[in-house]
Amino acid sequence: MGNKPGWPQVVFNSGMLLSAPMRYLFLALLVMRLLNFGASRSFAVAALITGAFVVIGSIGV
């Protein structure tokens, strides 16, 4: 999408910067719900750390 004609790169970059934290928020809410259903704490920590790397990678830090 970012390299297609008709879609300026700034629109793509802005969308990624806005969507990355929203994805992490969704992951955090999902992990909290899974903890209520009996998931282990180590799973929660691993999922949040993996999610942090995904968010950092998608915004290009």
Total domain count for the chain? 1
pLDDT tens digits, one per residue of 17-39: 888 888 889 999 999 999 999 99
Distance CA 14, CA 1 (A): 12
Residue 41's pLDDT band (cuts 50, 70, 90): very high
Place of tokens 């899974």: 34
E strands of the chain, at which residues? Answer: none
Residue 37: DSSP 8-state: T
Instruction: Report if residue 11 sits inside a domain.
Output: no
CA pair distance 16, 34, nearest whole angstrom: 27
pTM for the structure as a whole = 0.68
Does 8 reside within a domain? no
Tokens coding 14: 């802005």
Q: Given this model, what pLDDT does residue 47 score?
A: 92
40 — pLDDT class (breaks 50, 70, 90): very high
Local confidence band at 7 (pLDDT 50, 70, 90 cut-offs) = confident
Q: What range defines the domain where residue 27 resides? A: 20-59
